[in-house]
Amino acid sequence: MNILLKSAKIINAQNKELHLKKRDILIKDGTIDKIAAKIEAPKDTQVVDLKNLHVSLGWLDSSVCFGEPGYEERETISNGLRTAALSGFTDIVLNPNTHPIADSSSDIVFLTNAARDSATNLHPLGTMTMGGEGIDLAELYDMHNSGAVGFYDFKSPISNSNLLKIALQYVQNFDGLVYSQPLDVKIAGKGLVHEGITSTKLGLKGIPSLAEEIQIVRDLFILEYTEGKLHIPTVSTANAVKLIADAKKKGLNVTCSVAIHNLYFTDEVLEEFDTAYKVYPPLRTKKDTKALIKGVKDGTIDFVTADHIPLNIELKAVEFDNATYGSVGLESAFGLLHTLFDTETCITLLTQGKERYNIAENDLAEGRKACLTLFNPDVDYTFEKSHILSQSKNSMTLGESLKGKVYGIFNNNQLILN
């Protein structure tokens, strides 16, 4: 396949010669053949000439759920990867949130095989414990050899401190990455939303910030004792950012992420008891969102993520207490993020971090594999149900004013466009 991208503004801060320049980009058989001010289209070449076309290296999302196997009614692997591609993502890290859960090498092989011919690369996580039950370690080494990029009992905290200690020690033999969900379940109790003024006003049981922070303190102490590689997913409180910043100053090998909706929304949106806003970790206060945004800007927070969780309507169209946590977010990720940060910052956030998962880095240069995201950052629009590409439609972003349209991606010698 030969592709010519016409008059594409390149966003790649690492390449000073091309950054913010408009160039034609000729791609032959999946490789960038030529980058120049003007290129005549060779024979048998598809010309892509889109309004205000911008191009960057392919984007990564570090927290994505589908449904297959077991919950195909929520999302299949094929449609999930198509959704990711049309949302600008050339790489996604897939959470073990299926049935059966991915806790063995054969489960990892199934997932990688199912995604083999897709434009978007799927990088699976395996569970840290058997069945994700937090009791016995899963087959970490075997899953690693089969392609697992880390180990995570999805949204389930590791209550057994010694188990986390052993996992961090064990994975050092093969440079493995351990996740630890920041939640002390005893302190969280039966909480549903952030504990504060809004929860009190609405009469909903609250999850105090302390429940997140005390678990992070424990995890960081264990990491300091064991060494190893730790990732703390989807932090949500101001003090969590401070704790992780202090740990990084001490030289601990820790990374963390934040869900984009935790940067944008606060718990004030819960006043209508709309289950679309029931997510975990919960939406918190303006003080927290300000601290999280600051943490993103200063590099304390390593990843922004859509924290994409498709859920069929039966799990959301119920009383607030009984609704399942989660929202789809791939389709609105760029538009939402671009309301908070300028274009260059957004692209930096969306393209960084592959080395944490030992995913091969790329470059936007002649002779390199073409792994690109195509977008127009200057489109303003209201996010509507028609914009949701997932099988499940549980989006908390409906009705929001977003900025930036994704055209699609070119990756694995495939052009996927909206």
CATH 3.30.70.270 for the 58-357 domain, yes or no: no
Could you tell me if 308 and 328 are in contact, meaning their C-beta atoms sit under 8 angstroms apart? yes
Q: Answer for the pair 264, 289: CB distance below 8 angstroms, yes or no.
A: yes
For every one of its 418 residues, what pLDDT tens digit does the chain have, with 9 covering 90 and above? 899 999 999 999 989 999 999 999 999 999 999 999 999 999 999 999 999 999 999 999 999 999 999 999 999 999 999 999 999 999 999 999 999 999 999 999 999 999 999 999 999 999 999 999 999 999 999 999 999 999 999 999 999 999 999 999 999 999 999 999 999 999 999 999 999 999 999 999 999 999 999 999 999 999 999 999 999 999 999 999 999 999 999 999 999 999 999 999 999 999 999 999 999 999 999 999 999 999 999 999 999 999 999 999 999 999 999 999 999 999 999 999 999 999 999 999 999 999 999 999 889 999 999 999 999 999 999 999 999 999 999 999 999 999 999 999 999 999 999 9
* Residue type (1 letter), 154: F
What is the length of the chain?
418
Strand, coil or helix: what is 367? coil
Measured from the Cβ of residue 295, the count of other Cβ atoms closer than 10 Å reads 22
Provide the pLDDT for residue 181.
98
Rounded to 10 deg, the angle between the 161-170 and 209-226 helix axes is 40
**Do 279 and 397 contact (CB within 8 A), yes or no?**
no
Residues 6+ apart with CB under 8 A from 366: 32, 33, 34, 35
pTM, 2 dp: 0.97
Strand locations in 12-166 (E)? 22-28, 31-36, 46-48, 54-57, 59-64, 89-94, 121-124
State how far the Cα of 106 lies from the Cα of 138, in Å rounded to an integer.
Answer: 12
pLDDT in the model for residue 362: 86
Catalytic residue among 117, 307, 342, 380: 307
Query: What pLDDT score was predicted for residue 1?
Result: 82
Q: In 3D, which of 158, 182, 159 has the Cα closest to residue 236? A: 182
Instruction: Give the per-residue pLDDT at 361.
Output: 86
Which of 121, 145, 226 minimizes the C-alpha distance to 180?
226
The domain segmentation of the chain, as residue ranges, is 58-357
What pLDDT was estimated at residue 408?
98
212 contacts: CB under 8 Å, gap ≥ 6: 182, 183, 184, 235, 236, 237, 240, 281
**Of 210, 160, 208, which Cα lies nearest the Cα of 180?**
160
Of 360, 334, 300, residue with least CA distance to 418: 334
Q: How far apart are CA 33 and CA 68, in angstroms?
A: 37
Task: Answer for the pair 132, 157: CB distance below 8 angstroms, yes or no.
Answer: no
Annotation marks residue 33 as catalytic = no
Nearest-angstrom CA–CA distance, 201 and 111: 44
131 vs 63, 119, 153, 262, 308, CA distance in Å? 19, 30, 8, 29, 21
Task: Quickly list DSSP for 294-329.
Answer: HHHHHTSS-EEE--B----GGGTSS-GGGPPP-BB-
